[in-house]
Amino acid sequence: MTSQTPQAVAVMAFSLEDEDDGAFQAALSFVDECVLDEEVEDVAALRATSLMQRHDGFKPTASIMGVETSFGAQGGYELTPTASAIPTKTRDLAASNREKLRRRTELNERKKLLRKAGIYGDANWMSKDSRLEIAYLHERVEKLQLDLQVLQCRKSRRPATQTEVQDPSDAMASALEIPKVWEEISSRQQRRVKEAERENARLKLAVQRQRMVASCMSNLVRKRARHLTSDCSTFTDLTFSNQNIVHVLSSRSGGAGDFPLLFRHLETAHQEVDAVFASNGLSNMVLTPSDVHIREGVDGKYLEAFSNKVLPFGLRAATEATWDHFKGSEKHRGNGNIYEKTAKNLDDPYTIIEEFTKEMHSKNARADIKVQQLIRRYVEPDRDIVIWVSVAEPAEIKHKMLRGLTYHLRGYAMTKRSPASTPEHEISQLQCVSLISLEPEAEAMYGSETVRAVTNFLIVTAAQKMQAHQDRIENALVDKQLKRHGMTA
């Protein structure tokens, strides 16, 4: 073996050191390729520890992740598996990292499921409908709080000496019957308020559109009128035009002379009121649903619609509200629109004669009718009856002209004290009946199909009108009660 100079020895040492450094880096890269994703942090920590050990003192053998790396004197290296295990601290760190990764995966899966269901992690996120609903509920809560304050103030003002003694049986009966009636009234009033709000919004938009259309039409009419005036001015003869003025007057005077048949029908209807209410069972009804019932009369001569409605109000208030409804124009609403109307009060304050033209509608059917009607109120000690009789001539039904087909209508609205009424909780009943009959020769003149179509149309409109009578009378009573207590509907 030849001797080497110190310079050669130094150069060899430097070359060995460079080769050792390269081998060490190759081993680290091999370890990086072998480790799992969740052990990256552990490998990085182990690499830092190994580098520190290398700087502190070079060792020919290092155990990394169960692989032994041996460095030879000639700069070569070899990798040999070793049985030495990873330190306990490193294993614990890897296990904790795997547990964190598993929890993070479960959390991500849970978030995905919540997002699919429409639930997001952001607590401030909210849909437009939810925001509008919350704003509406806030407004309702404020109104209810104000109402509560008003009621509390009134309750505090009442003297404590107003305690009354009730019969236990009467109190129990009232407690069982009255709450259900008020619950139904409350639900109907809530629907009424919501429908009114929607109708107001719709009418505002409709009025805006109609104003624009009316403005455009008025401008067009003015322009057309100016053009026609200028075009026809040369053909106008003033002397001729002044001598040809025609006065058009109504052929019906509107007096009592046009209603002799209706007055006879009215007297007959008043005489038969007890028989009519006994035949349909209204005379024995107490607390029943307020639905409208329809039935056919004897031998199919007439059709009948009747209903019974419970009103938890005093008899006097109910009778006045009923008469106010039938003597005004509210009774014509509910199943159509009035074109024109002529009404006259006779010497009797409880008798009204009317003549009007009205459009009635039921589902897809529509009819224009001309009506003569007589209304009278009969005040009796234990009940109040409003009777109306009318003669109508439909002008058009389902776009088929039916001039001359006349039908007769007889209606009753009886208000009386309910048998379930008590001095503490007064209850009234509103019972309505409508009888419709056609002329005897109608089927021979117009055919069975036409008569059937007219009959179905009339009975449906009568039921709609009866339901409208009930709702408007109830609304009037509720509004008066609220005004009496200083509140508005």
Tens digit of each residue's pLDDT (9 = 90 or more) over 423-460 = 888 889 999 999 988 877 777 777 777 777 778 788 88
Tell me, yes or no, whether 326 and 417 share the same domain: yes
pLDDT at 25 over 90: no
Supply the pTM of this predicted model.
0.51
End-to-end CA distance of the chain: give it in Å, rounded.
119
**pLDDT tens column, 361-397:** 766 667 778 888 999 999 998 899 999 999 888 766 5
Share of the chain above pLDDT 90, in %: 12
**pLDDT tens column, 90-105:** 778 888 888 888 888 8
What are the CA-CA distances from residue 144 to residues 139, 141, 148, 194 (Å)? Answer: 9, 5, 6, 16
Asked whether residue 106 is domain-assigned, the answer is yes
Tell me, yes or no, whether 280 and 418 share the same domain: yes
**List of long-range contacts for 374-381, beta carbons under 8 Å, 24+ apart:** 374/259, 374/262, 374/263, 374/265, 374/266, 375/326, 375/327, 375/351, 376/266, 376/270, 376/348, 376/350, 376/351, 376/352, 377/323, 377/326, 377/327, 377/350, 377/351, 378/270, 378/350, 379/319, 379/350
Tell me, yes or no, whether 62 and 14 share the same domain: yes
Tell me, yes or no, whether 64 and 203 share the same domain: no
Tell me, yes or no, whether 330 and 415 share the same domain: yes
Domain span at residue 85 reads 6-113
Of all residues in the chain, what percent are helix, strand and coil, respectively (each to 5)?
55, 20, 25
Phi-psi sector, 334: left (phi>0), alpha (psi -120 to 50), beta: left
Tell me, yes or no, whether 191 and 65 share the same domain: no
pLDDT score at 152 = 78
70 φ, ψ (degrees, to nearest 5) = -110, 135
289 φ, ψ (degrees, to nearest 5) = -60, 150
Domain boundary (167, 189, 219) is at 219
Query: Tokens standing for 76?
Result: 């070569």
**Average model confidence (pLDDT) for the chain?**
71
Asked whether residue 144 is domain-assigned, the answer is no
Tell me, yes or no, whether 95 and 190 share the same domain: no
Tell me, yes or no, whether 337 and 197 share the same domain: no
Cβ atoms of 62 and 47 within 8 Å: the answer is: no
The structural domain count of the chain equals 3
Tell me, yes or no, whether 292 and 368 share the same domain: yes
Tell me, yes or no, whether 88 and 188 share the same domain: no
Tell me, yes or no, whether 79 and 209 share the same domain: no
Domain boundary (113, 147, 173) is at 113
Domain boundary (53, 80, 113) is at 113
Asked whether residue 478 is domain-assigned, the answer is yes
Q: What is the CATH number of the domain that holds 446?
A: 3.30.530.20
Cβ atoms of 352 and 372 within 8 Å: the answer is: no
Tell me, yes or no, whether 300 and 415 share the same domain: yes
Q: Which of 182-186, 268-272, 407-411, 478-482 has the lowest mean pLDDT?
A: 182-186
